[in-house]
Amino acid sequence: MSPGPRGSTSVWSPNRYYRSVAHCPAELLDDLADLFDEVRSWTGVVEKKPGVFYVRREPFLHFHLVEGGRRRADVKGRAGWVQLDLPRPVSAARRQALRRELRIRYAEKGVALPSRRQG
């Protein structure tokens, strides 16, 4: 335990940490619209709120604002959550890294991805 404000004590808790991280507002996700359109087309994907996606009723993708106003994507796979920092606007390389991670984690759920469009 460590002393907290005004002499109180606090115990670090993963649950407390995750509750204190703000979800990213939808207006800060506008540069990911084309990627969201792709994810929405996948079988079993539901967007519960803007930028919050589920696959087969299980959490799959959401975004947080973290220290310094940075964005972070959280993608859930079989082994847990994978976190990716996403600058705003997102670079082509970071967009591709997020797309690749989403495809990998989605495949872990045993759902076939639609074939990629040519063009």
> How far apart are the C-alpha atoms of 119 and 117, rounded to whole Å?
6
pTM, two decimals, is 0.77
What are 31's strand-pairing partners? none
**CA triple 109-112-113, angle to 5 deg:** 105
Cβ partners under 8 Å of residue 106, min gap 6:
42, 55, 60, 113
Tokens read off for 18: 């995750």
Written as one letter, the residue type at 21 is V
Q: What is the pLDDT along the chain (119 residues), one digit of tens a residue?
A: 434 444 433 333 344 444 467 899 999 999 999 999 999 999 999 999 999 999 999 999 999 998 888 999 999 999 999 999 999 999 999 999 999 999 999 999 887 777 655 44
